[in-house]
Amino acid sequence: MASFKSCFFFLFLFLIISCIRSYQVSHDGRAITINGERRVLLSGSIHYPRSTAQMWPDLIKKAKEGGLDAIETYVFWNAHEPLRRQYDFSGNLDLTRFLKTIQDEGLYAVLRIGPYVCAEWNYGGFPVWLHNMPGIELRTANQVYMNEMQNFTQLIVDMVKQEKLFASQGGPIILAQIENEYGNVQTSYGDAGKAYVDWCANFARSLDIGVPWIMCQQPDAPQSMINTCNGWYCDDFTPSNPNTPKMWTENWTGWFKNWGGKDPLRTAEDVAFSVARFFQTGGTFQNYYMYHGGTNFGRTSGGPYITTTYDYNAPLDEFGNLAQPKYGHLKELHDVLHSMEKTLTSGNITNSDLGNSVAVTIYALDGQSSCFFSNANETTDATITYQGVQYNVPAWSVSILPDCKTEVYNTAKVNTQTSVMVKKSNDAENEPASLQWSWRPEKVDEAVVLGRGQSSAHELVDQKVANDVSDYMWYMTNVYIGKNDPIWSDNMTLRVNGSGHILHAYVNGQYLGSQWATYGIFNYVFEKQVKLNPGRNHISLLSATIGLQNYGAHFDTVQSGIPGPVEIIGKNGDESVIKDLSSHKWSYKVDLNGINNKLFSGNPKFENGQWFSQDVPINRMMTWYKTTFKAPLGNDPVVVDLQGLGKGHAWINGESIGRYWPSYLAEEEGCSTDLCDYRGKYGPDKCASGCGEPTQRWYHVPRSFLKSDENTLVLFEEFGGNPSLVNFQTVQVGTACGSAYENKTMELSCNGRPITAIRFANFGETEGICGSFDKGSCSSENDVVSIIEKACVGKEKCSVPASESVFGSTNCGNNAKRLIVEAVC
């Protein structure tokens, strides 16, 4: 009997522990509830393939320290199933390891399975082999497509269930997403689109994962789904179903970058304003897209024309550094919102419109109240009188008063440092002089001279027919022209209708010319004068894709490669004769010899031929370069400066760090030297910089790609460039500019390195920006520089109260006083 009681006790204890460890996640019209409690949830997107597995713990730890509750990620179908039924979950594609890393840090996860993701990712995350399946239509009520989508989604759900990673199993995943932004394009698919949405919802529900499903940007989402908002501002969003909470799955913290595009900047003040407005207007779940953008390694960038960097101007930069002041300013906001959680999720709401875009919102619960004072006017500050007290609210800002008495946070008042990042030379060796280069030509003769292909057709084919195994595909044909042919003349041209990607043209073994487009342009006409021979002429066209289309209705049908027509045009005076070659017999060859033979791998068995160390050429097309280097000292992030090169691909120790294209300069127009004004709605061109400069000069080299001794860099140079300027650098904080309003505390940090000097310090009014400060109309009576030097120099970080008790009285009157410091790291 005693033994039976003991067994019963342990069984009962086990059941209790099991219940405690699982999470019951549901929702009502106000909030997501976890184990019966309504929650304010702040989340951030971190895409596991855009970093490395070695980076994940640090990124997720910083996200938690930044005040986040959850990490959101897409699942990238084409990365995991590059060939049908051949799966890859290794390395930085180890999804379950990523989710467990989130769990280890004590955070929740939001799993956006899609499996269409957009994300400026190649082909929107779809594997290109889908496109080549007979009878398929993507993202609509098409049985072939739905079978494949169901197979992959089921695979992911089963994998996650097996590892017990849904909250209902005790795991971190509290929400899952099916499809993605389909409502933006649904009308283009007609009734089949609506049928597809309903099928997605029914299929998702059948998976029985025990947590709610979301559909972003889906106004007609079925009742079992939660419709959510994406955009720079979602305060005006209202869920279509009143029984679902107001949720924001993508608050765009900046914007992506395209080749030829400027550097985007969305200010910390504006992001904070958008978040505060969202919670003021009843929101309870908000996710930053991106919190860490990362890098498009390999050939993963989409677009076409999306850069290798996917920094996104996020709170954590491409390399994982804190992007200050955005990171710190949002962290303070998160702390304030969390302190008001019960009131925000369960309190009675009273709104007062005071006119001129000024509003007061009061949340009241059990005798406690919290207030939001918002001023959405773009130019005029507001004074709000509440319970006999006046509060100044700057234009385009929100003040938060957790007790409706004291302003604890204002979105326009930044009380965190600005970090100016710099790139330092490689201390391990004297670069670039120390880099010794060898080279070898890409063997193009098989295509350019001999026209040897792997397949043929009497038509021009979409490059996607090759399942996107490479950027490169040769289109080759022969044309016979006699001197008596009506087209024959001394003035003949080759005309090619291109798809907007890169085209290199060769005729009779000689290079004729190249052409490419700009972001958002999907076709062009290449036309060059050509000298043809009587009789047989060989035409070789090399198409190089720069990421496949990833967004839009029927985006999957946008052609890549050479759609044609391809024509020879003969001109005699005013008369033109056209010979259309499009239906000639074309031979096709996928990839380049060097890539196919893995010259980048460093494995001698793949290297069929010799590398030359003498007479290293420059500005030579289709050339491979190789060098060795020592890893930069320390732990700071590493970049390689590829200034001087044209366009191509780079590998470190066999690992691809992505496409490079430093010769593509950003557009000349649209940048301003004026101080960026955070006020007013953000768009990609607002506050942009970098006009006329290389779109991307530096490329991320993850520390995990490096060896402790000798490392190898291999470049394939497609356009022609000069490798002699290439060098490796580290990224670190060069200048830290502290900022704190009166009665706040100024904090400075050099991210593990000592503060060496104070360039500027003032308590009162200060003009200018970090790097060019000047004292304003009033200052404190004490020597601020001396006080800060004593408190900070020689230390890795320091904190100083912004107070007259520290710096002495000022003659600023009622004007706002700030402590501003510029420190050298």
Q: Which two tokens stand for residue 604?
A: 């001698």
Q: Which amino acid is at 818?
A: R
Whole-Å CA distances, 209 to 76, 100, 167, 245, 376:
20, 17, 9, 20, 41
The secondary structure of 492-559 as a DSSP string is: EEEEEEE-SSEEEEEETTEEEEEE---TT---EEEEEE--PPSEEEEEEEEEE-SS-B-SSTTGGGS-
Whole-angstrom Cα distance, residue 790 to residue 495? 71
Side-chain half-sphere exposure of 746, counting CA atoms within 13 A: 31
Percent helix, percent strand, percent coil in the chain, to nearest 5: 20, 35, 45
Burial class (CB in 10 A: 0-12, 13-18, 19+), 573: exposed
- 793-797-802 Cα angle (round to 5): 85
**Torsion, CA 82, CA 87, CA 93, CA 97, rounded to 10:** 160
Report strand pairing: 472-481 vs 510-515.
Answer: unpaired
Whole-angstrom Cα distance, residue 597 to residue 143? 39
Residue in 148, 181, 269, 718 annotated catalytic:
181
Report how far Cα 485 is from the mean position of its chain's Cα atoms: 54
Report how far Cα 420 is from the mean position of its chain's Cα atoms: 21
Residue 473's SS3 state is strand
Whole-Å CA distances, 13 to 1, 16, 688:
18, 5, 59
Whole-angstrom Cα distance, residue 116 to residue 109? 19
Whole-angstrom Cα distance, residue 575 to residue 447? 33
CB contact at 8 A, 41 and 248? no
As a three-state string, the secondary structure of 228-262 is EEEECCCCCCCCCCCCCCCEEEEEECCCCCECCCC
Residue 620's SS3 state is coil
Residue in 72, 105, 179, 250 annotated catalytic:
250
Q: Which two tokens stand for residue 691?
A: 């006009």
Q: Which helix (H) or strand (E) holds 7?
A: helix 2-21
Report strand pairing: 648-652 vs 710-717.
Answer: antiparallel
Whole-angstrom Cα distance, residue 370 to residue 350? 11
End-to-end CA distance of the chain: 72
Q: Is 250 a catalytic residue?
A: yes
Q: Which two tokens stand for residue 55?
A: 């980076």
Among 394, 406, 384, 374, which residue's Cα sits nearest to residue 274? 374
Q: Is 181 a catalytic residue?
A: yes
Q: Which two tokens stand for residue 271?
A: 């992001």
Report how far Cα 419 is from the mean position of its chain's Cα atoms: 21
Query: Which sequence positions are flagged as catalytic?
Result: 181, 250
